[in-house]
Structure 1
Amino acid sequence: MLIETEMNCSDIRWSVPVPVRTPKGRKLDVCGPQEAMNVLAMDWPKDERGEHYERARKLCMAAMGRRVPAETMRDDFIEACLEAGLYCV
């Protein structure tokens, strides 16, 4: 399930993409909260949905709704990726 909203949130971008390697070995450069939410929803290991995952998921939704600045939740997404072992450089 891809996340889409009525308002165009695909134009919300981070200044620096977050490099992620999915459990299937695919490397992605996640460029903003909508892409991050899609990774959280579709590519996340089910047994790695901890505290940082939940926080990142909530903040992604808030950033897509323009309730929080997207740039401020980027670090939360990185923390979730580190927690799940998906962050790569």
Structure 2
Amino acid sequence: MSRRDIPWSHRLDVTLRAGMDRTFRSVYEALDFLENEWPLKSGEYYDRAVLACRQALNGLAPSETAREAFIAACLEAGMPAR
């Protein structure tokens, strides 16, 4: 898998479960968070987000598709995204 970073057109601010905000600006940042810091390592939208991010990094899907999948996973995990 290619680990080149692909920036999103707009940053994404997520409120973590601890109440802190975190900003994501790219596909790789989102995938790294999903794989290493995610509070729930399961869920339909979590799985879709991981797949979409990997596909985007490999040039098989648009970065905005990965962004939307990441937003859905955040909502599934109870972390509002804006």
The TM tier, using the shorter chain, reads 0.7 to 0.9
- From 4, 7, 14, the equivalent of 1:9 is 4
Unaligned runs of 5+ in 1: none
Counterpart CA distance in 2 for 1:88 and 1:68 is 21
Q: Give the alignment's Cα RMSD to 1 decimal.
A: 1.9
Equivalent AA in structure 1 for residue 68 of structure 2: D
Superposed CA deviations along residues 7-54 of structure 1, whole A, max 9, x for unmatched, are: 4522x11111111233444421111110000110122113x6210000
Q: How many residues align?
A: 82
Unaligned runs of 5+ in 2: none
- From 47, 58, 66, the equivalent of 1:54 is 47
Equivalent pair of 2:52/2:65 in contact (CA under 8 Å): no
**Equivalent residue of 2:8, what SS?**
coil
Counterpart CA distance in 1 for 2:30 and 2:49 is 9
**Equivalent residue for 1:18?**
12
Superposed CA deviations along residues 42-88 of structure 1, whole A, max 9, x for unmatched, are: 22113x62100000000100111111110122111100000001224
Q: Does 1:72 align with 2:27?
A: no
Equivalent pair of 1:62/1:68 in contact (CA under 8 Å): yes
More strand by share: 2
Equivalent AA in structure 2 for residue 39 of structure 1: F
Identity of aligned residues (%): 35
Give runs of ≥4 in structure 1 deviating > 4 Å.
none
